């Protein structure tokens, strides 16, 4: 690193407490689906305090409905917004950058499985505990202060930098898509997902679906006269498990050939019945299935419908009363990145300058908001984030020194990608 870069890294290090504090304050905001406003409000004040002028970007389904990346959902967007701030260029000749992070978190329930309150951050032995700390409020804090550190070090940038804090990464990606459709894009996109300080090179496609079954209610004294909708769920799930296994045995893109079971079906919700002594007449289950890059969403949708229909045909009641399959939220196709492209190369150079070694590659079996920029943006992107454990589980935690590593790498990336103005 040269003297200017060393000065920027020193500025990041001097902001270490502020990075941790913002992460903890964000964890305190229970920003689950539909409740993200508290985190948006807090971050808006933080960015304003850094000298930025954040604006709110709503998700407007009526405007996005025709966009190929838009995912229809059954809930409302009333009063729910994303937050974006642009630091304009101080000169010319640089390349623009955008940092994207999501503020929504998954439910911490059952909270009794946690050692402490999920929304009361706790530091233990170098780890910060709390729902959303790793996924991904620590990353949001790191990217925010990485940009601020450049200015604190006394430098300007030769290209604009955008900060985007979005909603609904955990369910559909409509938040990131809304900001992109509003014109917030760049030549480089970095997302601090909690997969560690690695170069993200592939992610699978993901879709959500639900299956609704109808039965016949009767008193339990005569269960044979009814049709138990809950019990009829199981052969349908078994059929979907067979589909999952078949898809894992099919030809894979190269990055996934070394992973034993890269595609995963998850049955995340089961509903049915309302009385222990009544045969339930309605039941439904919701699931998530991933699929390989290069596979169209519509193909996987058809395969799910066919698997459910085939299983239903083997049951006389379901054959006469076919289950209803609907798709909502995630309909996200996967993609593979070229690590030799400019953004991964510059980011890896920054990582090596800070650590003395190249960053490892990361092949993901989930999805991220990176897909919006990959398919519909104008630049290149990857993920590089802190080290976290138990994301989506009890006692989620993020390693504090890794948060600071992300801030250092991102600040150095801005210096080298955008170019400094003295």
- Report whether pLDDT(219) > 90: no
Q: What is the pLDDT of residues 288-344, one digit of tens each?
A: 999 999 999 999 999 999 999 999 999 999 999 999 999 999 999 999 999 999 999
Burial class (CB in 10 A: 0-12, 13-18, 19+), 3: exposed
CATH 3.40.630.10 fits 3-203+334-421, yes or no: yes
Contact by Cβ (8 Å): 270, 283: yes
pTM of the model: 0.95
Do residues 73 and 286 lie in contact, with contact meaning Cβ atoms separated by under 8 Å? no
- Bridge partners of 164? 84, 100
Q: pLDDT for 23-65, tens place per residue?
A: 999 999 999 999 999 999 999 999 999 999 999 999 999 999 9
- CATH fold for domain 206-332: Alpha-Beta Plaits (3.30.70)
Residues sharing a CB contact under 8 Å with residue 363, sequence separation 6 or more, in sequence order: 201, 202, 255, 256, 259, 262
In sequence order, the 6+-apart residues with CB closer than 8 A to the CB of 407 are 12, 15, 19, 141, 142, 143, 145, 146, 149
pLDDT band at 220 (very low <50, low <70, confident <90, very high): low
What are the extents of the domains in the chain?
A: 3-203+334-421, 206-332
Q: What is the pLDDT of residue 420?
A: 97
pLDDT tens string 273-298: 998 988 899 999 999 999 999 999 99
Cβ pair 297, 290 in contact under 8 A = no
| Predicted pLDDT at 43 | 98
Q: pLDDT class for 218, splitting at 50, 70, 90?
A: confident
Q: Is the pLDDT of residue 156 over 90?
A: yes
């Amino acid at each position: 690193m040269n003297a200017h870069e060393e000065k920027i890294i020193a500025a990041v290090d001097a902001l270490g407490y502020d990075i941790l504090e913002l992460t903890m304050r964000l964890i305190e905001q229970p920003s689950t689906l539909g409740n993200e406003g508290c985190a948006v409000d807090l971050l808006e004040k933080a960015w304003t305090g850094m000298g930025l002028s954040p604006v709110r970007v709503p998700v407007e389904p009526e405007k996005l409905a025709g966009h190929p990346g838009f995912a229809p959902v059954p809930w409302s967007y009333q009063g729910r917004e994303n937050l974006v701030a642009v630091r304009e260029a101080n000169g010319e000749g640089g390349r623009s950058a955008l940092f994207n992070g999501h503020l929504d978190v998954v439910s911490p329930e059952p909270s009794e499985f946690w050692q402490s309150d999920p929304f009361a951050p706790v530091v233990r032995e170098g780890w910060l505990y709390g729902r959303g700390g790793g996924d991904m409020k620590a990353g949001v804090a790191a990217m925010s202060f990485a940009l601020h550190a450049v200015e604190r070090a006394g430098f300007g940038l030769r290209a604009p930098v955008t900060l985007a804090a979005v909603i609904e990464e955990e369910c559909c990606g409509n938040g990131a898509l809304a900001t992109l459709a509003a014109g917030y894009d760049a030549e480089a996109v970095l997302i601090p997902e909690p997969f560690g300080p690695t170069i993200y090179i592939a992610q699978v496609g993901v879709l959500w679906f639900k299956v609704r079954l109808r039965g016949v209610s009767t008193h339990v004294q005569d269960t044979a006269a009814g049709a138990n909708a809950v019990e009829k769920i199981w052969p349908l799930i078994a059929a979907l498990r067979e589909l999952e296994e078949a898809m894992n045995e099919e030809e894979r893109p190269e990055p996934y050939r070394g992973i034993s079971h890269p595609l995963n079906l998850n049955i995340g919700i089961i509903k049915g019945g309302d009385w222990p002594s009544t045969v339930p007449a309605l039941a439904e289950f919701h699931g998530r299935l991933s699929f390989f890059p290069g596979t169209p969403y519509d193909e996987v949708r058809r395969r799910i419908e066919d698997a459910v229909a085939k299983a239903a045909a083997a049951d006389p009641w379901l054959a006469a009363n076919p289950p209803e399959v609907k798709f909502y939220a995630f309909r996200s196709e996967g993609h593979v990145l070229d690590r030799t492209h400019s953004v991964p190369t510059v980011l890896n150079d920054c990582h090596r300058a800070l650590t003395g070694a190249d960053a490892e590659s990361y092949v993901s079996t989930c999805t991220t908001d990176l897909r919006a920029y990959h398919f519909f943006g104008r630049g290149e992107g990857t993920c590089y984030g802190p080290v976290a454990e138990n994301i989506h589980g009890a006692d989620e935690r993020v390693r504090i020194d890794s948060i600071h590593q992300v801030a250092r790498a991102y600040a150095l990336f801005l210096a080298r990608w955008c170019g400094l103005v003295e």
